[in-house]
C-alpha cells in the first residue's frame, strides 16, 4: 500500500509554489521548496476552499454531507497525493543533504583520523625528542668527560715527551759511558792477559827462587855446621863436609876401594857440581866410586845410590868399550876438563878416598 502512495503520485494535479513574498518573485526557487503546496486543478484556478460562498456551502452542505465521506476520502487522497508530490520533489535536496552529510561525516572521520594520527605522531615525536634530549645530555656528559680526559692525556703526553727527551739524553750519556767502559774493558782484558802471563812467569821464577833459597839455606846450614867441625887431618883434604885422600899409587878399582875402606872411607862419590869441580881441579886421572858391574848400563855409587847429576865425558862415554866391557868409572881429562869415563875395572889407576868429617 505504501508503494502505491509514494511511488505513484497524481501527475494530473497542478503544483504551485507559494512564494513567501510575492514581490520577490525572482527569489531562488530552492529557498521556497518547503513552502510548496499542491492543489488540484480546481482549487488552483478558482479560489481556495475557504472563499466559497455561503450559499454554495449551504446548498452543497447536503451534498457535502452526503458526499462527506466521499469528499473526506478524496481529500485524504489529495493530501496524500500532495505529500507524495512534495516527497517526490524533496528527493534531490535530500540526496544532496545526505551526500553533504556523508561528506561531513567523512570529513569528520578524516579530521578525527588526522587528529589521532597527529596525536600519535606528536607522542612519538615527544618520545623521540625525550630520547634525543637524553642522548644529547649523555653526549654532553661524555663530551665533558672526554674533554677532561683529553686534558689529562695532553698533560700526560707532555710529561711523557719531557721524560722521553730526558731518557734520550740519558741514553746518549749511557751509550757514551758504555763505549768508554767497553774500551776500558778491552784495555783491562789486555792488561789482565799481560798480568796473567807475568804472574805465571813470576810463579815460575818464585818456584825457582824458592828452590834456590832452599838450597842456599841448606848450604848455609851446612857451612855453619861445617864451620863448627874441625878440619880434616893431614894428608886428608878438607872440602865441604868431607875429607878426601888422594892416593897416587895405581890399583884396580876393587883394590882401590879395599884400600879406602881400610882408611874408614870409600871411593869418592860426586854428588854436586861443586864437588865435581873440586875433584876436577886435582888435574889427574882417579878412580871414583861409580860402577855398573851388577847390571850393564845401570850405574850406581858405592853407597848404592843412583847418580842425580852426571858429568860423563863428551866423547861418547860411557861406551863399555872392548870385549870385556868397561864397568868402573874414572875421572879423566879431555881438552883440559876432567870428566867421567868408563874403564875395565882391572885397569891400574890412581884413586881418591872420601869420608865424612
Residues that bind Ca ion (CB under 5 A): 292, 317, 319-321, 326-327, 341-342
Nearer to Ca ion, 35 or 315 (CB): 315
Least spacing, CB of residue 351 vs Ca ion, in Å:
17
Nearer to Ca ion, 275 or 326 (CB): 326
Helix, coil or strand: residue 127: helix
Least spacing, CB of residue 347 vs Ca ion, in Å:
10
Can you read off the three cell numbers belonging to residue 301?
855409587
Nearer to Ca ion, 39 or 321 (CB): 321
Nearer to Ca ion, 275 or 342 (CB): 342
Write out the H or E segment, with its range, that includes residue 251. strand 242-251
CB distance 271 to 289 below 8 Å: no
Q: How many CB atoms neighbour CB 115 within 10 A? A: 10
Nearer to Ca ion, 342 or 354 (CB): 342
Least spacing, CB of residue 343 vs Ca ion, in Å:
6
Q: Are strands 349-356 and 286-291 parallel, antiparallel or unpaired?
A: parallel
Nearer to Ca ion, 311 or 321 (CB): 321
Least spacing, CB of residue 243 vs Ca ion, in Å:
29
Least spacing, CB of residue 327 vs Ca ion, in Å:
4
CB distance 43 to 49 below 8 Å: yes
Least spacing, CB of residue 349 vs Ca ion, in Å:
12
> Within 13 Å and on the Cβ side, how many CA atoms surround 10?
16
Can you read off the three cell numbers belonging to residue 310?
852426571
Helix, coil or strand: residue 201: helix
Q: Pick from 328, 321, 185: which is nearest to 253 by CA?
A: 328
Least spacing, CB of residue 319 vs Ca ion, in Å:
5
Nearer to Ca ion, 24 or 319 (CB): 319
DSSP 17-28: E--S-SS-TTS-
Q: How many CB atoms neighbour CB 32 within 10 A? A: 15
Nearer to Ca ion, 43 or 321 (CB): 321
φ, ψ of residue 325 in degrees (nearest 5): 80, 175
Helix, coil or strand: residue 335: coil
Nearer to Ca ion, 136 or 314 (CB): 314
Least spacing, CB of residue 278 vs Ca ion, in Å:
23
The residue whose grid cell reads 758504555 is: 178
Least spacing, CB of residue 291 vs Ca ion, in Å:
8
Q: How many CB atoms neighbour CB 255 within 10 A? A: 16
Cα four-point dihedral sign 212, 215, 218, 222: negative
Q: Pick from 284, 16, 204, 267: which is nearest to 196 by CA?
A: 204
Amino acid at each position: 500500500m505504501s508503494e502505491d502512495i509514494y511511488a505513484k503520485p497524481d501527475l494530473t494535479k497542478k503544483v504551485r509554489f507559494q512564494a513567501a513574498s510575492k514581490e520577490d518573485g525572482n527569489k531562488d526557487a530552492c529557498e521556497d521548496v518547503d513552502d510548496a503546496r499542491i492543489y488540484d486543478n480546481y482549487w488552483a484556478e478558482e479560489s481556495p476552499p475557504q472563499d466559497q460562498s455561503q450559499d454554495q456551502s449551504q446548498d452543497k452542505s447536503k451534498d457535502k454531507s452526503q458526499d462527506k465521506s466521499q469528499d473526506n476520502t478524496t481529500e485524504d487522497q489529495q493530501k496524500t497525493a500532495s505529500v507524495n508530490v512534495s516527497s517526490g520533489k524533496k528527493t534531490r535536496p535530500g540526496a544532496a543533504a545526505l551526500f553533504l552529510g556523508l561528506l561531513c561525516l567523512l570529513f569528520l572521520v578524516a579530521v578525527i583520523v588526522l587528529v589521532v594520527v597527529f596525536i600519535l605522531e606528536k607522542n612519538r615525536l615527544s618520545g623521540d625528542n625525550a630520547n634525543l634530549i637524553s642522548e644529547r645530555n649523555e653526549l654532553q656528559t661524555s663530551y665533558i668527560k672526554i674533554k677532561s680526559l683529553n686534558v689529562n692525556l695532553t698533560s700526560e703526553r707532555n710529561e711523557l715527551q719531557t721524560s722521553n727527551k730526558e731518557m734520550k739524553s740519558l741514553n746518549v750519556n749511557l751509550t757514551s759511558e758504555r763505549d768508554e767502559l767497553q774500551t776500558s774493558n778491552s784495555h783491562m782484558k789486555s792488561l789482565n792477559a799481560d798480568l796473567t802471563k807475568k804472574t805465571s812467569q813470576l810463579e815460575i821464577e818464585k818456584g825457582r827462587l824458592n828452590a834456590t833459597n832452599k838450597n842456599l839455606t841448606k848450604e848455609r846450614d851446612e857451612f855453619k855446621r861445617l864451620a863448627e867441625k874441625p878440619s880434616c887431618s893431614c894428608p886428608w883434604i878438607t872440602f865441604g863436609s868431607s875429607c878426601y885422600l888422594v892416593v897416587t899409587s895405581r890399583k884396580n878399582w876393587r883394590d882401590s876401594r879395599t884400600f879406602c875402606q881400610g882408611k874408614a872411607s870409600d871411593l869418592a862419590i860426586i854428588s854436586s857440581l861443586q864437588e865435581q869441580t873440586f875433584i876436577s881441579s886435582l888435574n889427574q886421572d882417579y878412580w871414583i866410586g861409580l860402577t855398573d858391574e851388577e847390571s850393564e848400563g845401570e850405574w850406581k855409587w858405592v853407597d848404592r845410590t843412583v847418580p842425580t847429576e852426571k858429568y860423563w865425558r863428551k866423547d861418547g862415554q860411557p861406551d863399555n868399550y872392548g870385549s870385556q866391557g868397561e864397568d868402573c868409572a874414572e875421572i879423566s881429562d879431555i881438552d883440559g876438563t876432567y870428566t867421567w869415563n868408563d874403564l875395565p875395572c882391572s885397569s891400574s889407576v890412581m884413586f881418591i878416598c872420601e869420608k865424612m868429617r
